[in-house]
Chains A and B, each alone.
Chain A
Amino acid sequence: MKRMLIAVWLLLALPLLSGCWDELYFKDLQIVTLIGIGGGEDDVTVHFSYPMYTDSEIEYMTSEASGRSFSDARNNVNMRVSNVLDISQLQVLLISDESAKGQLYDHLDNLFRTPKNRLAAHVALVQEEIEPYMGGEEGAPGLPKNAPDYLNKMLATVKEYSLTSDYNLQETCMLLFDEGKDLSLPLLHIAGESGLPELKGTALFRGQSYTGEYLDPNEGKMLNLLTDESGKFLRETYMVKLGDESVPVTIELIGARKNWDIGDSAIRLRYKIRVEIDEFPQGPVMKKDRIHELERQLTDAVEADMEKTVDKLQKAGSDAIGVGRRVRAFHPRLWKKGDWHDTFSELDIRVEAEVRIDRTGILD
């Protein structure tokens, strides 16, 4: 028992000998919630946006610094901020499309390597300059003061409605290393009239770098359908011909089942898609023969859209669907043909969709 006591005293005495090396008092920190990375290789400009408290009012401040790399810029910013900038609470990471055309991982390595960093942050590409997205004085005119919160919520909403793919920092880095699937990220731009950041589409990557090609929001939805990673809602409106007139019908995805048929020269992506009618002002869906007609026309429309999306992906050489994963695992001959990106572009890939209306809402 005496030994136990000695152990307790020793353990309690240790702090007295030392002090607290790793103490990082919360008060001394400045949490950064939005980071923007711009500039090219060897000359990286990093923008920070963070909330400051002055007399219990939140004020959003921005700082920027440049350096040889992300980490260098991040260290350089300490020259002009009052508190230590702490990026462990990062919400949104923006990367300019020009920077992303280089090796994207070069910018992310520090974020990935330091254990304190948060990996659940949203990642998005932006067109042209980064400043307008950061809030503060140079921010876009329409952007509210709390730019980080705004962007964070906006990216969450965009994903919830399946308009684009959404990968957090962790998944982004994983996809950069994944041989069988390419990265795709939301692409933002400042809309002309409102002056607000807006979703432009889904940026497509080939390997480590941005191809410059992007999918529009409609194709973004199709990509979500193809990867089977849609958000909470996936809604799309199509015009269908009923007799002579053309009427809009909005469908909402319930679920889809994919069945890929991979051959040596051709790939068939088959989807069975179950939907709910969200809007059909023409009256009862269940009217005689009408439902089959609707299903047929919807099948054609969705299939055409998905084809279009796949074509675009093939053109960009970006396998954002992840066909390559399956090919790598089970079709080594096809996989070893050459660089998968090239193989993917050249392959004959067709989509076969089948839309089935499972529900019609509370109206028939």
Chain B
Amino acid sequence: MNAHNVQTIKNLFMNSSDFVIKEVEVAGEKALLCFYLSLIDASEADRQLALIGAGAQNKIESWGGSTSSTVYPFSKEGLLKEVCTGNVVVVFPDSNLLVSISALSVPERSPEEPKNEEVVRGAHNGFVENFNRNIGLLRKKMQRPDLVVRSYQQENSNSQINLVYLDKAAPPEVVAEVDLRLQNIPFREFYSTGQLEDYLEDTIFSPFPQFLNTERPDRVVYNLLEGKVVLFSDSSPTALIAPVNFFAFYESPDDFNSRVVVGSFYRMVRLMAFFVAILLPAFYISVVSFHSEILPLDLSKHLMDLLKEVPYRPLVEALILELFIELIREASVRLPQRIGQTVGIVGGIVIGDAIVSSGLVTNLMVIVVAMTAIASFVVPSAEMNMAVRILRFPFMILAASFGFLGMVFGTLLLFIHLLNLSSLKQPYLTPVIPFDPSRFKDIFFRVPFFRPDRQQPTFQFRKGRDK
């Protein structure tokens, strides 16, 4: 009888070799112990098992229930699900019961600061690959009961997507919208939050991210307070924040930790960097190949001397350098940190110098491209950084063919696109467009926080305004 049961269960788990099933006796009753050896903490499971046994022996009514264990009536699905999530399951074939004991043990990082979002001042912890630990970090920071977590089970898999929001701050229509979209996701298993983003975004074919990615709990906290919703997948340290506006990507937790004046200054510098990163190479190209008359004379004399040596058109020159910088960046990201630095030095200094002296590009172009690259790295968000770097190529092409005219057309098209864009149906450029004076200043200034009587939301849902 038991041997038959054991075989059936083993078959259920495809005879996987890390699946363990043992016959034990709990409080005088025969039981089967099922678990994945790879997922559990054995000593913890034994302790729990002993406790349950003791409880059952003493005829306590709720002998199987505790913070880490639950009793269910036996079912195949229940068994599969519990074992797959990493629980130890005790099956009582005689009384047709199933006790699941959670004793999960998987290798885990400590919540150290995320590498790509470091700040100068402020909390230095980050999310890890475990949702419960992550939400723990959040709950520790904001100890309030209206922090709500909603879990969405994925089909075919037992991992979850978790929606976190502050009930008092988040507008119900936004929560309802996310809820709808999450439920409409077809069954699939995600292996990155980026895929989740694709399902939820308003406009997928846009270079601009419509969800803010972060691994920093403090960033999540202030976004929650502003009434946004946050999505966590089960096994990724990245949280997705929505709805966001364009300017959210240019805010860093550092702003709030630094002095008011300093924070405001750097926020403005960052916003300026957006335009520099997109338009500077295009501007240079159009000046050199179309509108040289706008150069002041002293500069133009010098430029003429530099250009004399270079055989290529400015566009080719710019493309060579831009692609080269992209290569350095990509290489140094992929390589381990120590070698990455070497790549930077070799690429930046050695090749950079040689490429000028060999007459492939001019010095001025090196300056332009380097400034552009630096301006694009200023953006605190990695996704926006990518968007900005991609965008300058079409601008360069337009500038090379029409000069300033092309740049103006490109800019207008970019603005039309940005105006069309929305994040969870909220306009992307708010509060500049639609203009909202009370929040307008927040984009450019880090406003003092000495009278926090009311949390300023990012989006307003005023009636009578076109959105």
Contact in complex: B289, A12 (CB < 8 Å) = no
- For the complex formed, measure the closest distance between the CB of A216 and the CB atoms of chain B, giving whole angstroms: 32
A residues in contact with B304, CB < 8 Å: 26-27, 31, 53
Cβ of B281 under 8 Å from chain A: no
Dominant SS at the B interface?
Answer: helix
Residues 108-141 (chain A) with a chain B CB within 8 angstroms: 116, 118
Stretch of B91-99, B213-221, B392-400 at the chain-chain interface: B392-400
Beyond A7-B413, A27-B307, A116-B293: 16 further Cβ-contacts under 8 Å?
A12-B397, A15-B397, A15-B398, A19-B401, A20-B400, A20-B401, A24-B292, A25-B313, A25-B314, A26-B303, A27-B304, A31-B297, A31-B304, A33-B297, A53-B305, A86-B292
A1 within 8 A of B: yes
Q: Which 7 A-B pairs have the closest CB atoms?
A: A15-B401, A88-B293, A26-B292, A27-B307, A26-B288, A53-B305, A20-B401
- The reply to whether B289 and A5 form a contact with Cβ atoms under 8 Å apart is no
Of all chain A residues, the one with the shortest Cβ separation from B314 is: A25
Binding site of A, secondary structure by majority: helix, strand, loop or mixed? Answer: mixed
Report the bound CA distance from A56 to B363 in whole Å. 14
Q: Which of A27, A51, A118 has the most CB of B within 10 A?
A: A27
CA A53 – CA B301 in complex, angstroms?
A: 9
- In the assembled complex, the Cα of A15 lies from the Cα of B285 at a distance in Å of 15
Sampled A-B contacts (13; CB under 8 Å) = A11-B398, A11-B413, A15-B397, A15-B402, A15-B406, A23-B289, A23-B403, A24-B292, A25-B314, A26-B287, A26-B304, A27-B307, A56-B305
Residues of A within 8 A of B (CB): 1-2, 4-5, 7-8, 11-12, 14-15, 18-20, 22-27, 29, 31, 33, 51, 53, 56, 58, 86, 88-89, 91, 116, 118
**Chain A residue, CB-CB nearest to B297:** A89
* Cα distance A7–B416 in the bound complex, in angstroms: 11
A25 touches B289 (CB 8 A): yes
Interface string of B197-226 (1 = CB under 8 A from A): 000000101100000000000000000000
Distance between A168 CB and nearest chain B CB, rounded to angstroms: 14
Q: Is B153 an interface residue (CB 8 A)?
A: no
Q: Is B74 an interface residue (CB 8 A)?
A: no
* A319 CA to B333 CA, complexed, in Å: 74
Inter-subunit contact B288/A8 (CB<8 Å): no
Residues of B within 8 A of A86 (CB): 292-293
Identify which of A4, A29, A89 contacts B420 (C-beta below 8 A).
A4
Across the interface, do A4 and B289 meet the contact criterion of CB distance under 8 Å?
Answer: no
Residues of B close to A5: CB separation below 8 A: 205
Q: Which residue of A lies closest to B401 (CB)?
A: A15
Contact A91 B297 (CB under 8 A): yes
Measured between beta carbons, the chain B residues less than 8 angstroms from A4 are 416-417, 420
Q: Are A89 and B300 also in contact (CB < 8 A) when A20-B289, A24-B292 are? A: yes
User: Contacts A11-B398, A51-B301; is A24 near B290 (CB within 8 Å)?
Assistant: yes
- Closest chain-B Cβ to A7's Cβ sits at a distance in Å of 7
> In whole angstroms, how far apart are the Cα atoms of A8 and B313 in the complex?
24
